[in-house]
Amino acid sequence: MTDANRTTQIFEASTLYGAATLAAALDAGQFGPRGAARRVLLVSNNATIPETAAELSEMAGWRGIAARFDTVIDWNETISPHHPSDWGPADRDAPVWERMLRRFWGLGDGRVELIVESVHAKPAAALATIFADADVHVYADGLMSYGPTRDRLPADTAIRVQRLLHLDLVPGLRPLLLAEHDVPSEVVPDDAFRAVLDEISAESRDGAGAGDDEEVPAQVAVILGQYLAALEILTPREEEALHERMLRGAAAAGFRAVVFKPHPTAPAHYSKVLEKAAADLGVRLTVLDTPMLAETVFERYRPGLVVGCFSTAMFTASAYYGVPIARVGTGPLLERITPYQNSNRVPLTIVDALVPDLERAKAGEVVTARADAARSVGPLVRTVGYCMQGKLNPGLRPEAEAWLDAHLNEETWRYFKRARLTALALPGGFASGLARQLPGSGTALRIARRVRKATLRDGKDGKAKR
């Protein structure tokens, strides 16, 4: 029986990777000793159609993660029939929801702490509204933590955010997420996270469908699917072609065995296209249809290469398993993702800047991410971050101007849009030098836009129409 005045820590998670990050933080003592507070794991299935996506409880390694918590609660069931990504209480209804959830979840009158992902988005934003007095801790389980906050946080939420916990995927690179609120960042220790990954892999081997008797090729490449069509970045046909390019690149690098790890929500016909390409190339293809972490695949197959587009799992392969990684298709995606503020832009930029292009590298030349990654990519990430969310991060402007003045060239243009640089009166924009000298940002932007329109008409008609 729980003490009515006992502190309750509510950990919200929507992915097994995120839950593993929380488990590592707990093991490292970053939320105090076991027993000091009641620990509730609140599971949310944020898939577009939750009923068609694998539940966390169905994934290999779930039992060990869940055992670290006193209670596991299903958020989808709690708010049914609403969708977790859409629903949030009206402000006037928040106190009613808090009283109901405290009674329904047995929280009593004690203090509540929230540990959430993506605090600016639902369901985390909904929880922060309901538990209006709770301290908030944010954890980030991927490359997006290095990008700026997507939306401005309500002031009453921002003042409650205590810290950002994140994995050190790009050693030494500091996250921009929540930096506008001076939220301190805290690294989840590498050894704790790797230990959790090993635990998940061991449970996967012991569980049904783990494939213990499967013959594992001596030298294998792993292809990571992301299902970019779901993000409307690529069409399904274009994503099929991207996977095929990854397969052909791995074959060209000398790999005769390839494992395809599809995204959990990817359609089955994606693997059919790869199967035909593999047959044509004489490559042995294994398609994994058991829901499991990509990291479990790395442990099981011990690959000689991991290929992806801009998946976070590429960096866990490099940082935690020492596996060489390579990218395919990042260039066109930098052009296509919209708007410029799209949160995927920073992960895409990091991968493009640090990871070798498989289709340009010669066989045997794919390597791990650069050892000086933070120093080499940090200024670029902060410049891109300012261009994405300049109003939230005005302090980054001097560094962004200096970097663009010194480094903007044919090679680096792919990370920027001229219209964006123009709107911000930055180097590389139309009449940026003039715009930066004019008094008043409104005047500067109006003149810059007129110059841009005139330039575009000149290019189209041969002369500017007045």
**Domain ranges (residues) in the chain:** 8-193, 215-369, 417-466
Query: Which pLDDT value is given to residue 229?
Result: 85
Residue 281 has pLDDT above 90, yes or no: yes
The DSSP code for 15 is S
Alpha helices in 225-371 (DSSP H): 236-252, 269-281, 294-301, 312-321, 330-336, 345-354
Provide mean pLDDT across the span 340-366.
86
b/e map of 146-173 (b: 16 or more CB within 10 Å)?
A: bbbbbeebeeebbebbebbbbbbbbeeb
* pLDDT value for 231: 79
Pick the CATH number of 215-369 from 3.30.1950.10, 3.40.47.10, 3.40.50.150, 3.40.50.1980: 3.40.50.1980
Residue in 111, 98, 94 with CA at minimum distance from that of residue 4 = 111
Under CATH, to which class is 8-193 assigned?
Answer: alpha beta
Sequence-distant (≥ 6) Cβ neighbours of residue 42 within 8 angstroms: 10, 11, 12, 13, 73, 75, 127
Closest CA relative to residue 221, chosen from 185, 197, 198, 254: 254
Whether pLDDT at 210 is above 50? no
Overall pTM > 0.75: yes
Model confidence at 1, pLDDT cuts 50, 70, 90, reads: very low
**Average pLDDT of the residues in 129-134:** 96
* Better-scored residue on pLDDT, 385 or 464: 385
Joined together, the tokens standing for residue 239 give 């994503």
pLDDT grade for 373, boundaries at 50, 70 and 90? confident
Q: Count H helices and E strands in the chain, helices first.
A: 18, 12
Of 77-86, 311-320, 381-390, 432-441, the poorest mean pLDDT is in: 432-441
Q: What is the pLDDT of residue 432?
A: 57
Confidence of residue 463 (pLDDT cuts 50, 70, 90): very low
Distance CA 38, CA 41 (A): 10
Report the amino acid identity of residue 412.
Answer: T
CB atoms within 10 A of CB 271: 20
How would residue 232 be classed by pLDDT, with cut points 50, 70 and 90? confident
Q: Is-contact 70 39, C-beta < 8 A?
A: yes
CA dist., res. 333 & res. 345, Å (int): 9
CA separation for the pair 244, 50 (Å, rounded): 28
Answer whether residue 372 shows pLDDT above 80: no
